[in-house]
Structure 1
Amino acid sequence: MNITLITVGKLKEKYLKDAVNEYAKRLQKYCKLNIIELQDEKTPEKASLKEEKLIKEKEGEKILSSIKDNSYVVSMDLKGKMFSSEEFSAFIDDLGVRGNSSIDFVIGGSLGLSDAVLARANYKLCFSKMTFPHQLFRVMLLEQVYRAFRISRGEPYHK
Structure 2
Amino acid sequence: MNIKLVVVGKLKEKYFKQGIAEYAKRLSRFCKFEIVEVPDEKAPESLSDAQMAQVMAKEGERILSKIKDREYVYALAILGKERTSEAFAAEIKQLTTYGHSDITFVIGGSLGLDSAVLKRADTQISFGKFTLPHQLMRLVLTEQIYRAFMINEGSPYHK
Please state which band the TM-score falls in when normalised by the shorter chain.
Answer: over 0.9
Separation (CA, whole Å) in 2 of partners of 1:10 and 1:95: 29
SS in 1 for 2:109: coil
Work out the number of aligned pairs and report it: 159
Match of 1:140 in 2: 140
Name the % identity.
55
Residues 73-88 of structure 1: matches in 2 within 5 Å? Answer: 73-88=73-88
Match of 1:153 in 2: 153
Residues 4-153 of structure 1: matches in 2 within 5 Å? Answer: 4-153=4-153
Which AA in structure 1 matches 2:156?
P
Q: What TM-score do the two structures reach when normalised by structure 2?
A: 0.98
Deviation, structure 1 residue 34: 1.0
SS in 2 for 1:91: helix
Deviation, structure 1 residue 158: 3.9
SS in 2 for 1:66: coil
State the superposition RMSD in angstroms: 0.7
Separation (CA, whole Å) in 1 of partners of 2:46 and 2:109: 17
SS in 1 for 2:4: strand
Which AA in structure 1 matches 2:138?
R
Note the residue ranges of structure 2 that are not aligned, 5 or more in a row: none
SS in 1 for 2:79: strand
Which AA in structure 2 matches 1:83?
R
Which AA in structure 2 matches 1:60?
G
Conservation of the 8 A alpha-carbon contact between 2:150 and 2:158: no
Q: What TM-score do the two structures reach when normalised by structure 1?
A: 0.98
Which AA in structure 2 matches 1:138?
R
Separation (CA, whole Å) in 1 of partners of 2:83 and 2:58: 30
SS in 1 for 2:156: coil
